[in-house]
Amino acid sequence: MSVAATTTTTIAKASPARGLAARSTAATTTTGGLGLGRRRRSSDAARRRRRGVARRVGVVVLAAASKGDDRPVVIIDNYDSFTYNLSQYLGDLGCEHVVYKNDEKTVAEIAAMNPKGVMVSPGPGRPEDSGISLEACEKLGPEFGVFGVCMGHQCIGQVFGGTVVRAPCGLMHGKSSPVWHTEEEGQLLHGLPRRVPISRRPFEAARYHSLVISREGFPEDELEVTAWTKDQTIMAVKHRKYPKIQGVQFHPESIITENGLHIIRNWVNLIDA
């Protein structure tokens, strides 16, 4: 697979054995992710291996296709460095994907790509600051499915009738909380491995946010709450009519979150079905 010679596009291919070797740290990102920061401290040899796979000239990565379906997942990047961790996990799962900044493509252009699914990344500010993300949740979600992470989760809540408010617990930055969840098949937190075989045991999840979907006036007719914290802060939602539209307030792509790769695998399996 060739490397596109544009200023915003890198194309790489993940090795099934080694996962996604390209862990891009393009200068277009604006916020720091814990996992990414640790990766920057990797050895010179590791950096040389990564440069052999993908040049640091942009933010689009293609991994090996899964299940013979070469349609890509589209990641809408809300100018957040955690986007690259999400890309890493999709690459580890052998899921072909492309990454576009939230002002780089129109929703119509993404729809014309016939993507396998759409992922809306974390990002700074409110959903109104997320470029095409709100429109993508509304117009692409019912047909292709949307997985919203942090701000992406808030976009789903706002599009389908919820209100995004200041978190009652205040700013959560790099903190972890126990998260309880439902166990129904078809939701992203189904089947999480458990260290203790106790039904509905919470798992630890990484939180980097100051906003949440409000419990007050929650659109029960459109969305279902599938995860929550001890103080009943909403941590995950699923659309009742379109189950491929799901969001999580926490960061499954952070090393702080237990079984984050399993959660993302559940979504990939959902859109592959």
* Lowest mean pLDDT, pick from 79-88, 110-119, 177-186: 177-186
Of these residues, 181, 209, 239, 251, which one is catalytic? 251
Domain ranges of the chain: 73-272
CA distance 175 to 251: 11
Note the pLDDT of residue 36.
36
**Local confidence band at 200 (pLDDT 50, 70, 90 cut-offs):** low
Q: What is the pTM of this model?
A: 0.74
Q: What does the DSSP 8-state code read for residue 128? A: G
In the set 97, 150, 153, 209, the catalytic residue is 150
251 catalytic residue (yes or no): yes
Provide mean pLDDT across the span 252-261.
91
**Rounded to 5 degrees, what are φ and ψ at 108?**
-65, -40
Closest CA to 140 of 266, 245, 264, 272: 245
* Exposed / middle / buried, residue 5 (Cβ in 10 Å: 0-12, 13-18, 19+): exposed
Catalytic annotation present for 220: no
Low-confidence winner among 98-112, 133-147, 158-172, 213-227 (lowest mean pLDDT): 158-172
Fold exhibited by the domain 73-272: Rossmann fold (3.40.50)
Return the minimum-mean-pLDDT range out of 48-52, 93-97, 102-106: 48-52
Alpha-carbon span 239 to 245, nearest angstrom: 6
Determine which helix (DSSP H) or strand (DSSP E) holds 124, and give its type and residue range: none
> Which one of 96, 104, 222, 253 is the catalytic residue?
253
| Mean pLDDT to the nearest integer, 93-107 | 97
Q: What is the pLDDT of residue 188?
A: 86
Catalytic status, residue 222: no
Q: Both tokens of residue 99?
A: 């990454």
